[in-house]
Structure 1
C-alpha cells in the first residue's frame, strides 16, 4: 500500500489484494459483532409505537464489545452507588442503539469503498472520516484482543502467537495515521 494522498476533496490510495482482504475481513468481523449486539436489544410495544429504540441496559460481556461500547457513565469500581448504576443502565439503553448504528454505518462505508480484489480507493472527505472511525474500531478491537499496552514492545518474539496479529495492528495504525495526514493536508 502506498500512503493516502489528497487531491482536492478526494483522498486516495491503492491496496493490494491481501491488504484489501485484511481490511475487509476485520471490518466485517467488527460489523458482525455489532449487529449481533443490536439483535440483543429488547423489543417492546412502546418502542414500536414511538419509534424510540432502546438497547441492552447492561454492558457487553465480551471484552472487545465492551471496549467498542463503553459505559456512558463511569462508575466508581470500589463502591458503585445504586442510583448511578441505574443511571448508567438507562443511558446505555437509550444511547447504545445510535452508537451501534453509527459504528455499523462506518463499517458499511469501508466495505462499499474497499475493492475486494484490491486496487484504487477514492474517498470523499466524508467517506474518509468513516474509514477513520472504522479503522479506529478495528484497532481498538485488535488491541483489546492482543492486550496491547503502552509498554508493549513493537515486535514480539516469533514464537509468541500474537506476533503476526501485532504486525497487522501496527500496519492498521500506519494506515490510519497516513489517512489522517491526507485528510488534514
Structure 2
C-alpha cells in the first residue's frame, strides 16, 4: 500500500494515495468514537466544568478493545495486595487524561491527512514534525491494539495463523490492515530513531 515512513528533517515522511489516506482517516475517526463511547455527546459548558473536578472511572471497560486501550495497571500485588482495588484507584486518577491524549493523537492523524488530501491514485507525501511523529506513533499503536482485540491477536503466532485464512473470510481485510498498520508503526519508529 504505502511506501512507509522514512526519516526527514528531524521528523518523518511517507507517501499515501487517496485509498490509504481514506482508510487511515476512517480508522482514526472510529478510534475517536470508541474513545468517547463512555463519555456521551452534547456536553454543556456546565458539564465540561464539572468534569474538570470529577474523578475518572474505576471499572475496567467491558469492550475488549477499550480494555486493551485502558488496561488494568496492576495484575499481581502479591499475597497481601488487592490488584483489582489498586487498579481501580489508579484508573480513577489517570484514565481521563489517557483518554484525552489518545483523542489528541487520533485528531492529529485526521488533521494531517486532511491537509494532505491526495487526489485519485496519485500519491502525496506526508511530512511530520517530531511532535507529530509522537502523536502518529501513539495513534498507530492504539489502532493496532483495537484491531488486535477484534481479531483476538495476543502474540505474533496469532497473527501468523490469521494470515492463512481463506480469502472469503470476513476477517481478511482487518488482518491485512493490522499488518499494514504494524509496518507503518515499525517504519515510523525507525525513522524517529534515525532523526535523533
TM score, norm. by length of structure 2: 0.80
Aligned-pair distance for 1:89? 1.6
- Inter-partner Cα distance in structure 2 for 1:61 and 1:182: 36
The RMSD of aligned alpha carbons is: 2.8
Contact 2:58-2:92 at 8 Å conserved across structures = yes
Contact 2:75-2:84 at 8 Å conserved across structures = no
Helix, strand or coil at the partner of 1:182: helix
- Inter-partner Cα distance in structure 1 for 2:10 and 2:87: 40
Helix, strand or coil at the partner of 1:37: coil
Helix, strand or coil at the partner of 2:61: coil
Q: Which residue of 2 aligns with 1:160?
A: 169
Q: Which residue of 1 aligns with 2:181?
A: 172
Q: Which residue of 2 aligns with 1:146?
A: 151
Distance 1:39 1:53, change over 3 A: farther
Q: Which residue of 1 aligns with 2:99?
A: 100
Helix, strand or coil at the partner of 2:135: helix
- Inter-partner Cα distance in structure 1 for 2:126 and 2:177: 20
21-30 or 148-157, which deviates more: 148-157
Q: Which runs of 5+ in 2 are unaligned?
A: 119-123
Helix, strand or coil at the partner of 2:37: helix
TM score, norm. by length of structure 1: 0.84
- Inter-partner Cα distance in structure 2 for 1:114 and 1:15: 9
Aligned-pair distance for 1:10? 3.2
Q: Which runs of 5+ in 1 are unaligned?
A: none
Distance 1:50 1:26, change over 3 A: closer
